[in-house]
Amino acid sequence: MKALVLRGSNNIFQVRIINNNEETECRIKGKVLKEAEGLYNPLAPGDIVECENGLITALEKRRNCFARFNQKGKSVQILAANVDLVLCMTTPASPPFRPRFIDRLLMEADYAKIPAAVICNKYDINKDDIDVEHRLKDFERIGLPVLRISAITGEGLEDIRKLISGKLTVISGQSGVGKSTLINAIIPGLDLRTGRINEKYSRGNHTTIQSCLYELEEGGALIDTPGIRRFAPERVKPEELILYMREFAPFAGQCSFGHSCLHITEPGCKILKAVEEGKIHKDRYESFLRIRDDMENT
Ligand code: GDP
Ligand code: ZN
């Protein structure tokens, strides 16, 4: 029987059997799935598996996966599979606006070829900050949907509902931006704990940080992901990074030094020219340099 993975840790997974809609607990048969070798975690929310009598016997090929680098396990951790949309969540304040973090999330989404949107939550506070608005406008300019919302007052929630309807949507963002509050607002009765940074993902004494899938009544689901400190850069070569930053990508290979250009001081560099001409925002260029530095220094 085919089943959708909702969540799980250790070797116990909560799944939804697709045929009869039943929710049940499953274990991996023989503890190893040959389709998931070399990964930090064999299964993630959104995976489709084959199961029989409480045992998971096979994993269906993933359409895509949203991942991060797991520092402790020193390997790629799949946060969600078969994703239709990534919501990159930030705030104008409390915690402070961190567009560079959004740039990293967007890079991971672009790398995974998953459509993304920027959600600026807590728009009930500090919404007149011109620096915040300036940067949000740039996300719009490079083709991303940007929603300004408040999970507390309900502002913009209808737009989110429309955006996520029928989709498997990942919500990602720093701790404290309001991911749980938003999920609670969208799925009444769920009642996730909010405001407790770093505690929410602990499961007993086993503190695997994992994602969780919550189904929507109208079809589709939301997947809450743990904070992301590091992406999975070993899958990308530093010189390929510009392919995964959408407004940089058209310039790939166009510099005088071609693909070997570092885009720092080289004459005939098309990236530097684009920054000068405002086709690439200087903050995004700064993010690019920092992400590449991280990749080179690991
Ligand atoms: P998470 O770590 O991303 O899941 O964040 P939480 O949902 O736990 O929210 C962190 C804190 O921000 C909580 O105290 C929430 O009440 C508060 N919060 C969430 N959304 C909003 C909002 O739209 N406006 C304001 N002012 N506070 C919010
Ligand atoms: Zn260049």
In the reported structure, the alpha carbon of residue 123 is separated from the centroid of ligand 1 by a whole-number distance in angstroms of 11
Minimal-distance CA residue to ligand 1 atom 6: 178
Instruction: Looking at the structure, give the CATH architecture of the domain made up of residues 238-297.
Output: Orthogonal Bundle (1.10)
Indicate if 238-297 has the same CATH topology as 81-224. Answer: no
Instruction: State if residue 92 touches ligand 1 by the CB under 6 angstroms criterion.
Output: no
Q: Where are the domains of the chain?
A: 2-61, 81-224, 238-297
How far is residue 136's CA from residue 118's CA, in Å, rounded to a whole number?
8
Say what the pTM is.
0.92
How far is residue 105's CA from residue 99's CA, in Å, rounded to a whole number?
10
User: Is the dihedral angle over the CA atoms 51, 55, 57, 59 positive or is it negative?
Assistant: positive
Residue 207: is its pLDDT beyond 50? Answer: no
Instruction: State if residue 174 touches ligand 1 by the CB under 6 angstroms criterion.
Output: no
How far is residue 117's CA from residue 87's CA, in Å, rounded to a whole number?
5
Instruction: State if residue 122 touches ligand 1 by the CB under 6 angstroms criterion.
Output: yes
Residue 197: is its pLDDT beyond 70? Answer: no
Instruction: State if residue 278 touches ligand 1 by the CB under 6 angstroms criterion.
Output: no
- What is the band of 196 on the pLDDT scale with cuts at 50, 70, 90? low
What does the pLDDT look like over 216-273, one tens digit per residue?
998 999 999 876 666 655 567 888 999 999 999 999 999 999 999 999 999 999 999 9
Instruction: State if residue 160 touches ligand 1 by the CB under 6 angstroms criterion.
Output: no
- The third-level CATH classification (topology) of the domain covering 2-61 is OB fold (Dihydrolipoamide Acetyltransferase, E2P) (2.40.50)
In the reported structure, the alpha carbon of residue 272 is separated from the centroid of ligand 2 by a whole-number distance in angstroms of 6
- The third-level CATH classification (topology) of the domain covering 81-224 is Rossmann fold (3.40.50)
Q: Which of 7, 11, 77, 81 is nearest to 46 (CA)?
A: 81
